[in-house]
Structure 1
Amino acid sequence: MKISKEIKTGILVVLGILLFIFGFKYLKGQNLLESNNTYYTEFNYNALTPSSVVTVKGNPVGKVTEIKYDYATGKTRVAFLVNEQLKFSKNSKIRMYETGLMGGNGLAIIISKDGELAKPGDVLESEVEVGLVSSLSKNFSGLSSDLDLTLKSADTLMSSLNRLVKDDSNQGLKATIYELNQTLKSFKGTSNSVNSLIGKNDASIEELLVNFKTMSADLSVVVSELKEANLGNIIATLNSTLTNLNGVLDKVNKGDGTLGKLVEDEALYNNLEGATKELEALLQDIKLHPKRYFRILSKKEIPYEEPQTN
């Protein structure tokens, strides 16, 4: 059976209308090939667009389909579609958040499993997540004030630097640079003098280094000889000798032995001191009266007399 041109034309027109409706709905965020559910929420202001994404834990599950301003409440009512497989309770919240710095905003369903399951047509509670752009917009006045203070400080700093550069007094930057230049010149002259002195005394410095090297070698030999001389045994013997000497001194302090008694016995000391004085007097008398002790020089006995002291 042949189909007339009129029937073909009618079929094409109907298909065109259906395709137009499908495309229009798709652009609005509705997919006619999927079974979706419509829910609602409200915000104090609108920052969304039709077809804004709806996500759960970062996964897209639907799109915003309609945005209307409610003149009675002064709020923006947002209708959005989600897949019918998604189940959540009426206590869940719809959060508006920034999808990116340049990517606009979207809705996130913060699912709660408590309470009665939400049904298509329910109005869910909303909240707004503060993002970078909104934070900057709220704090722009503070940022501008801080920026103004920073610019004023920078201007003051530049003015101070300008005055410092133009200052021709002794305290100015020019005078400081001049003095620094003179110091560098002096340092350069000193460096040249040192280089000249080193150049003139290369031979002496070389000889000094040779002598130091020789002395280091001799010191190394001495250290080697000390190692070979068994310095440890010498120190041990010296330590033993000092220990014995300490024992002898301890006995002397206690009055043991002849030397100890001589040091500690005061009577013996006094006797020795008296005997010494008498011996000194005897020697002096012999020197003054030798005939008294040597009868060969004189037959007459000369009595003893105490020597006169001046």
Structure 2
Amino acid sequence: MSKEIKVALLAIVAIAALIIGFNFLRGSNVLSSDQTYYATYPRVDGLNVGALVALNGIKVGQVKSMVLQPEKGNSVRVALELEKGIVVGDSTTASLGGSLLGSKAITLTLGKNSKTYTGGEEIRTVTPSSIADAFQAKALPVLDTVGATLANINGFLNKDAQTNIQGTLVGARASTEALLRLIASNQANINQITRNFAQMSVALNKTTGKLDKIATNFGQLSDSLKTAPVGPALRRLNATLADAQATVQTLNTALNDQSGSMGKLLHDSTLYNNLAATSASSNDLLLDLKANPKRYVHFSVFGGGKDKTKVETTKKPDGTTTTEVKKVETTSVVK
């Protein structure tokens, strides 16, 4: 084989490899047995050659090429290269969609086909509203409202309003300057207040130390009370109270029992009546002694003489009185 033929064959192989590699980089495999179908869209913003063709979220092909058709209203005819096992027909639709920031893709939707395609046929297309279109539709009324609001604000901020705002700012500046002058004139008082706060802080720190000591003492007292034999003392106190209660109960029983001495003293009125009668007799005796002292005291200087008698009247407790005449012997002594 001559050198020229070898060079020619090498050139053919290199050209073929270049074509295959170029198509592969574009997303098309010239050596594959995939079927090619076509879909026509009015516009394909964001769609690129090699873009994904998906069925139920799974890649089943890719965009092979896109051709502008001026004779059909500048519509775009897109060649879809699908895997050989994918069956499409007259009910299949190719929907163009994608995200706002990402590239677009084509999604296939299968149905009940009355006719099955074998390759080269035109697939029905669906162009849903994109996110950008929806956003634009929503944003335009908002932008119009914002523009109207800004126009109202500009109308409000006329010359009079601007003058009023400037006057307000001037007044605020004057108030600020007056406040600064007030602070400067009372700087000494402010310094004194600051020193007082500092002294108060020192005093509080000292008091905190004392409070710590008091808390420590209370803690020690609590520990002492915790270890003190409070339980036995309380039990003894309970026993003493029980004995005192029993004693009081016994005394109460004895006082209420009328057969006993204390019960008779409390419930029998005879002793009270006797004491009352005795007190009355004593009073009568004292009154009679005061009225008739000669009946009870006799005095004689020489003694002798006639025998004398005296009359004694006794009042009994039942109110009756008895009179007795008694003979009194005279002596030289005072009776």
The TM-score by the shorter chain falls in which range?
0.5 to 0.7
After superposition, give the CA deviation of every residue in 1:95-143 in whole Å (9 maximum; x if it has no partner): 2123662x54332334x47656543214234243633x33332222144
Residues 143 and 15 of structure 1, relative CA distance in 2, 3 Å threshold:
farther
SS state at 1:63 partner? strand
Identity %: 13
Does residue 195 (structure 1) correspond to residue 198 (structure 2)? The answer is: yes
User: In the TM superposition, what is the alpha-carbon distance from 1:221 to its structure 2 partner?
Assistant: 4.7
Residues 196 and 75 of structure 1, relative CA distance in 2, 3 Å threshold:
same
Distance 2:145 2:11 in 1: 65
* Structure showing greater Rg: 2
8 A Cα contact 2:92 2:123, kept in partner = no
Distance 1:71 1:212 in 2: 99
The corresponding residue for 1:119 is 118
SS state at 1:51 partner? coil
Q: Which amino acid aligns with 2:229?
A: N
Residues 301 and 138 of structure 1, relative CA distance in 2, 3 Å threshold:
same
User: In the TM superposition, what is the alpha-carbon distance from 1:94 to its structure 2 partner?
Assistant: 1.9
Does residue 229 (structure 1) correspond to residue 228 (structure 2)? The answer is: yes
User: In the TM superposition, what is the alpha-carbon distance from 1:231 to its structure 2 partner?
Assistant: 1.1
How many residue pairs align between the two structures?
Answer: 281
- Find 2:35's aligned residue among 31, 34, 37: 37
Residues 280 and 41 of structure 1, relative CA distance in 2, 3 Å threshold:
farther
User: In the TM superposition, what is the alpha-carbon distance from 1:192 to its structure 2 partner?
Assistant: 0.7
After superposition, give the CA deviation of every residue in 1:123-176 in whole Å (9 maximum; x if it has no partner): 234243633x333322221442465588789999xx999776443499x67777
SS state at 1:62 partner? strand
Q: Which amino acid aligns with 2:65?
A: T
SS state at 1:139 partner? helix
Q: In terms of mean alpha carbon deviation, does 117-126 or 279-288 score higher?
A: 279-288
The corresponding residue for 1:167 is 171
Q: Which amino acid aligns with 1:195?
A: A
Q: Which amino acid aligns with 2:52?
A: V
SS state at 1:226 partner? helix
8 A Cα contact 2:36 2:82, kept in partner = no
Residues 232 and 273 of structure 1, relative CA distance in 2, 3 Å threshold:
farther
Q: Which amino acid aligns with 1:167?
A: G
Does residue 136 (structure 1) correspond to residue 135 (structure 2)? The answer is: yes
After superposition, give the CA deviation of every residue in 1:167-199 in whole Å (9 maximum; x if it has no partner): 3499x6777788899999866532312434676
Distance 1:39 1:62 in 2: 11
Q: Which amino acid aligns with 2:198?
A: N
Distance 1:281 1:186 in 2: 93
Unaligned runs of 5+ in 2: 157-161, 259-263, 297-311, 317-335
Distance 1:283 1:196 in 2: 83
Matches within 5 A, 1:55-134: 55-56=53-54, 57=57, 59=59, 61-68=61-68, 76=75, 78-90=77-89, 91-98=91-98, 101=101, 104-110=103-109, 112=110, 115=113, 117-120=116-119, 121-128=121-128, 130-131=130-131, 133-134=132-133
TM-score w.r.t. the length of structure 2 is 0.52
User: In the TM superposition, what is the alpha-carbon distance from 1:93 to its structure 2 partner?
Assistant: 3.6
Residues 152 and 11 of structure 1, relative CA distance in 2, 3 Å threshold:
same
8 A Cα contact 1:38 1:82, kept in partner = yes
The corresponding residue for 2:52 is 54
Distance 2:169 2:61 in 1: 67
TM-score w.r.t. the length of structure 1 is 0.55
Residues 270 and 260 of structure 1, relative CA distance in 2, 3 Å threshold:
closer
Distance 1:33 1:113 in 2: 30
Distance 1:261 1:23 in 2: 133
The corresponding residue for 1:257 is 253
User: In the TM superposition, what is the alpha-carbon distance from 1:45 to its structure 2 partner?
Assistant: 4.2
User: In the TM superposition, what is the alpha-carbon distance from 1:87 to its structure 2 partner?
Assistant: 0.7
User: In the TM superposition, what is the alpha-carbon distance from 1:62 to its structure 2 partner?
Assistant: 1.9
Q: Which amino acid aligns with 2:171?
A: D
Q: Which amino acid aligns with 2:143?
A: S
Unaligned runs of 5+ in 1: 263-267, 305-310
Residues 62 and 219 of structure 1, relative CA distance in 2, 3 Å threshold:
closer
Residues 178 and 223 of structure 1, relative CA distance in 2, 3 Å threshold:
same
Over aligned residues, Cα RMSD in angstroms?
A: 6.2
Residues 229 and 39 of structure 1, relative CA distance in 2, 3 Å threshold:
same
